[in-house]
Amino acid sequence: MKTKAVRFPEANKYDVVELTLDAPGAGDIAVKTLVTAISPGTERWILRGKHVGTEFPCVPGYHRIGIVETCGADVTGFKPGDIVYGSGNRWEETDIISMWGAHVGYSVSSPEGYTLISSESPDIPMLSKCAFIIVVGVANRGINALQPQEGEHIAIIGGGIIGICAAQLSALRGAIPTVIELDQDRIALIEKMGINVINGADPDVLDKIKEISPDGLDILYDSVGHAATTDNLVTQMKSGSRLLLQAQYFDKERCALDIDAIKIKEITIKTTIGIDDKDFQETLDNISSGRLDIDSLITHCFKAPGDVLKGYELLDSGKPFNLGIVFEWE
């Protein structure tokens, strides 16, 4: 059995290859891919060869929804026709590793790592939004860790998918979010969504924060990892406030924070990584119910495997403006 897959053969290179799959065994499920989505932060770091654990050549991605086509005799918990989230990886090409390996047309593996989404007929537009569960779930985990309260002011560094969803989730709790972003296209999108946003390059950024939160910030949420920006905003935080460090801090020479400034204000530092089952379910519910606006974050949709590389050209160059990139698999 053969399937098409996205491959990063080396840093800053991407192509589509054919993988050879085993015949399904008694403990396997065979899953036909319906939609996958690029995780723009993680997959860009992998493409650049900077993500921890990256090896080449590899099949990237962890956003995948498919339909179960067959189940082995020993499989329990799933049945043909189930819509599932996850990626099973087992192919014969031993020189190609899996960096979570979501961007494949078909898979044969044990059911471990899959989560049931629905037993109903697939609704592709809804599944395209739900494909982002993990990256949106990261924002959910961050907000759960911070526990923003009614009327608290939260500044979120970074207007990517995580930052925008963190702003939405904090607003659902009655907090007052402000996103700090540099990119003008992202700023325009965030404003269109009705979320307060400040250009981080504005020389009056601190004054604007003071106008919004004259008594100081209750929470600072870092989804970028630019130390100078974080240090600058720490000056506007209240004593006893909370700071979430949730970015990718790979560049140790440039991501060091002014810990003394944080300590003087007795700021509580929190960190999170990934998501758990609670985050997954809460995020699925928030997307399915429409409490989170994901439609506004999906800028491009391509048919896969034929046009899949167009998505990576966008990710690689950053132009034209793109944020959420979805692949619908034929």
Measured distance CA(5)–CA(21) in Å, rounded: 12
Furthest C-alpha separation in the chain: 65
Q: What are phi and psi of 253, to 5 degrees?
A: -75, -25
Q: Indicate if the pLDDT at residue 197 is higher than 90.
A: yes
Q: Indicate if the pLDDT at residue 148 is higher than 90.
A: yes
168 lies in which domain range?
Answer: 135-271
Examine the domain organization and report whether 153 and 250 are in the same domain: yes
In a domain, 276, yes or no: no
Per-residue model confidence as pLDDT tens digits over 105-133: 999 999 999 999 999 989 999 999 999 99
Q: List Cβ neighbours of 15 (8 Å cut-off, separation of 6 or more).
A: 6, 7, 9, 309
| Lowest-pLDDT choice from 96-105, 147-156, 173-182, 252-261 | 252-261
Q: What are phi and psi of 148, to 5 degrees?
A: -60, 140
Measured distance CA(292)–CA(58) in Å, rounded: 32
Q: Indicate if the pLDDT at residue 254 is higher than 80.
A: no
In a domain, 283, yes or no: no
Examine the domain organization and report whether 198 and 302 are in the same domain: no
CB 42, CB 31: distance < 8 Å:
no
- What are the structure tokens assigned to 101, written together? 């390996």
In a domain, 39, yes or no: yes
Measured distance CA(115)–CA(149) in Å, rounded: 31
Examine the domain organization and report whether 156 and 83 are in the same domain: no
Return the pLDDT at 251.
Answer: 74
Examine the domain organization and report whether 13 and 93 are in the same domain: yes
In a domain, 218, yes or no: yes
Return the pLDDT at 249.
Answer: 82
Return the pLDDT at 252.
Answer: 74
Examine the domain organization and report whether 59 and 90 are in the same domain: yes
CATH of residue 183's domain is 3.40.50.720
Examine the domain organization and report whether 303 and 236 are in the same domain: no
In a domain, 83, yes or no: yes
Identity of residue 299? T
Examine the domain organization and report whether 20 and 91 are in the same domain: yes
| Lowest-pLDDT choice from 16-20, 82-86, 252-256 | 252-256
In a domain, 288, yes or no: no
Measured distance CA(24)–CA(12) in Å, rounded: 34
Per-residue model confidence as pLDDT tens digits over 293-318: 999 999 999 999 999 999 999 999 99
- What are the structure tokens assigned to 85, written together? 């989230």
In a domain, 313, yes or no: yes
- What are the structure tokens assigned to 11, written together? 């840093």
Per-residue model confidence as pLDDT tens digits over 164-193: 999 999 999 999 999 999 999 999 999 999
The band of 199, judged by pLDDT with boundaries at 50, 70 and 90, is very high
Examine the domain organization and report whether 14 and 128 are in the same domain: yes
Examine the domain organization and report whether 206 and 151 are in the same domain: yes
What's the whole-number mean pLDDT along residues 131-157? 98
Q: Is the peptide bond before 57 cis (omega within 30 degrees of 0)?
A: yes
Q: Which of 271, 286, 312 is the last residue of a domain?
A: 271
Mean pLDDT for all residues in the chain:
96
CATH of residue 51's domain is 3.90.180.10
Q: Indicate if the pLDDT at residue 268 is higher than 90.
A: yes
Examine the domain organization and report whether 123 and 169 are in the same domain: no
Examine the domain organization and report whether 126 and 145 are in the same domain: no
CA neighbor of 161 nearest in space, from 287, 18, 49: 287
Examine the domain organization and report whether 171 and 214 are in the same domain: yes
- Give the total number of structural domains in the chain: 2
Residue 174: CB atoms within 10 Å: 11
In a domain, 23, yes or no: yes
Return the pLDDT at 52.
Answer: 86
Per-residue model confidence as pLDDT tens digits over 67-114: 999 999 999 999 999 999 999 889 999 999 999 999 999 999 999 999
63-71 and 83-85 as β-strands: parallel, antiparallel, unpaired?
antiparallel
CA neighbor of 301 nearest in space, from 128, 83, 84, 105: 128
- What are the structure tokens assigned to 68, written together? 């179960």
